């Protein structure tokens, strides 16, 4: 089974309503707010988020992401809101560390994937979201980009995919759902005439 998907192959992502509840809950803790805002904005894997160093964030409001799974490294612009969340988290930290999210035992090391996954579970459980993992945020990014009209190559670039085929799944999921809804509406009209 591929991580982040059901055994049926369906994407496991958070709906708009679930994302709203999840991010509202995450916003109660500066660390979680910063972590999950970055993960959602850039479709970060848990390991990519865990390994962000302070040196990866520049004064001119950019962030460098080292891609995992043979993806492409990328530099992104940071929105003012993301900069605000990063600064708020850094003001709250109680340790000095070269990492944005330090390891809880040794601040000279970065956080682990387990910490990111555990943080996701804490927030998801608080708002009643089940059956999803931290990787579901990456799928949520892809699906929302597709809904907004981004093409496969554009999604691929944003998510740092090496293979374009990895991004088509998001376009296909959104297109399939739209087509299914059109078909349902079409036949509803015929069924209504047979009352």
Among the listed residues 135, 130, 122, 131, the one whose alpha carbon sits nearest the alpha carbon of residue 48: 135
The pLDDT confidence band at residue 22, using thresholds 50, 70 and 90, is very high
pTM above 0.75, yes or no: yes
Domains and CATH numbers, the chain: 16-193 (1.10.443.10)
Least confident interval from 7-11, 156-160, 177-181: 7-11
Higher pLDDT, 10 or 157: 157
Residue 87 predicted with pLDDT over 70: yes
Q: Cβ(86)–Cβ(35) under 8 Å? A: no
pLDDT of residue 174: 76
**pLDDT (tens digit, 9 = 90+) per residue, 103-144?**
989 999 999 999 999 999 999 999 999 999 999 999 999 999
pLDDT of residue 4: 43
Tokens of 123: 């927030």
Report how far residue 120's alpha carbon sits from residue 123's, in angstroms, rounded to the nearest whole number. Answer: 5
The pLDDT confidence band at residue 74, using thresholds 50, 70 and 90, is very high
The pLDDT confidence band at residue 193, using thresholds 50, 70 and 90, is low
Tokens of 193: 């005439």
Higher pLDDT, 69 or 42: 42
């Amino acid at each position: 089974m591929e991580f982040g998907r059901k055994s049926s192959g369906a994407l496991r992502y958070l709906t708009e309503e679930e994302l709203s509840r999840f991010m509202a809950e995450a916003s109660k803790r500066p660390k979680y707010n910063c972590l999950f805002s970055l993960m959602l904005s850039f479709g970060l894997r848990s390991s990519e988020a865990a390994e962000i160093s302070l040196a990866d964030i520049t004064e001119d409001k950019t962030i460098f992401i080292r891609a995992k799974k043979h993806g492409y490294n990328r530099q992104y612009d940071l929105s003012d809101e993301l900069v605000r969340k990063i600064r708020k988290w850094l003001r709250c930290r109680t340790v000095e560390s070269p990492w944005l999210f330090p390891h809880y035992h040794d601040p000279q090391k970065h956080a682990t994937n387990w910490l990111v996954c555990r943080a996701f579970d804490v927030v998801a459980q608080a708002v009643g979201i089940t059956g999803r993992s931290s990787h579901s945020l990456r799928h949520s990014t892809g699906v929302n980009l597709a809904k907004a009209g981004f093409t496969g190559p554009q999604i691929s670039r944003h998510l740092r995919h090496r293979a374009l085929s990895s991004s088509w799944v998001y376009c296909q999921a959104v297109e399939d759902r739209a087509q299914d809804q059109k078909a349902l509406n079409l036949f509803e009209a015929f069924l209504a005439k047979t009352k």
